[in-house]
Amino acid sequence: MPANTLPRILVLGAGLGGTIAAYEIRDATKGRAEVTVVSDSEDYWFVPSNPWVAVRWREPDAIRVPLAPVMAQKGIGFTSVGATRVHPTESRVELRDGSSMSYDWLVIATGPELAFDEIPGFGPDGHTVSVCKTDHAAHAADAFDEFCKNPRPIVVGAAQGASCFGPAYEYALILDTELRRRKIRDQVPMTFVTSEPYIGHLGLDGVGDTKGLLESQLRERHIKWVTNARVTRFDDGMAHVEEVGEDGAVKKTHDLPFGFSMLLPAFRGIKAVYGIEGLTNPRGFILADKHQRNPNFKNVYSLGVCVAIPPMGPTPVPVGVPKTGFMIESMVTAVAHNIAAELDGRQPNEVPSWNAVCLADFGDGGVAFVAQPQIPPRNVNWSSHGKWVHLAKVGFEKYFLKKVRSGVSEPFYEKLALQVLGINKLKETTKEDVR
């Protein structure tokens, strides 16, 4: 490397984790490295608002941020060409236009590939809608408008292998709220179908009393549920579901008619990283140590939904662990600090807290929980509900979009608020961590 050439840090992905990571790494390295973002889109989309888009409570453009101008203002390189393959043995990323970019450090923040194809008839190309991407949610809004002209049953939930359950509950209860506003709720039987062993498990074995709170919400709104559910296929207007017992045997089968259905799919790693020995697990998620660094390729870090995290424990139907927003931001901070340490010739020593702060909006209320850390056993295990959650979610949307538009990963008032609440992004460093 020529003496006047700065080390290059590539950030692969520009979702919640990748965008904030680029800002924070740029600030942490203070001009000592060249930071470049490789995305497959020109825009950032605030995915937590997709359930609102899917009932027209938000228009897609309201949650979109064009990234190139912000990145340029921050002195961060940006391309939306997208990547076809990571070559970690060569420290190189191959792009969709046939070119390649070399790196000194790679931060993988790609998010997942949506595994709709694992269930026949599933997904936007099949018989169900999706809120996983904003364009999916926009199509779901069109389908919902058509559905409301001819109300029929609704099936909502999360399929086997899913690891993101909050939006399923959100969307079910948002649909309930919107149907009541349209005065057709009485014409729409609703069933919540989930691979969780119980309502409110959330892939986390519950947080506080999420079981009681969410069961109560479903009961009050006349939404039936099927847990330990394994969907075998979707036909046009019919979901075929197996209810599995504790011994793993099929206890009961359900043929659930629907005029409108949205289930969250299982995730897997994207094709650009899938199947790379030493980099990913068999599902294509990135292997990472406690510092978010790959144990085999030491110049590769990862954060967000693409990170491999083992499930909480055995369940009759496969259930993954969610990576919530604040948990991802804690990974971002650890990665930024650890790369800065390596630039200084030191070993990585920061460990993300994996604390979770979650707001699940139901349109006229919601459920909030704090888990410190997200994975049990926990120091804090709290949940609550009320109309304040809806207002808090609206405020958080506006605040986070402002962060992305301004290119600031953590304004001072956010840092102060977190300190007051005792919620940290990094674990306290121990002697063991710095060895």
Which residues form the catalytic set? 164, 358
Q: Return the DSSP state at 81.
A: S
Rounded to whole angstroms, the Cα distance separating 67 from 362 reads 30
Which of 413, 367, 412, 358 lies closest to 389 in space, CA to CA?
367
Both tokens of residue 52?
A: 């609102």
Question: How far is the CA of 418 from the CAs of 7, 317, 410, 415, in angstroms?
Answer: 33, 36, 10, 5
Both tokens of residue 54?
A: 């899917």
Rounded to whole angstroms, the Cα distance separating 376 from 183 reads 42
166, 360 in Cβ contact below 8 A? Answer: yes
Both tokens of residue 252?
A: 């009961």
Question: How far is the CA of 86 from the CAs of 89, 91, 108, 179, in angstroms?
Answer: 9, 8, 10, 46
| E strands, 286-345, in order | 300-302
Both tokens of residue 263?
A: 């289930």
Please state the length of the chain: 435
Rounded to whole angstroms, the Cα distance separating 133 from 51 reads 10
Q: How far is CA 434 from the centre of its chain?
A: 30
Which of 395, 391, 376 lies closest to 202 in space, CA to CA?
376
* Helix pair angle (134-149, 166-181), 10° resolution: 30
379, 370 in Cβ contact below 8 A? Answer: no
3-state secondary structure of 378: coil
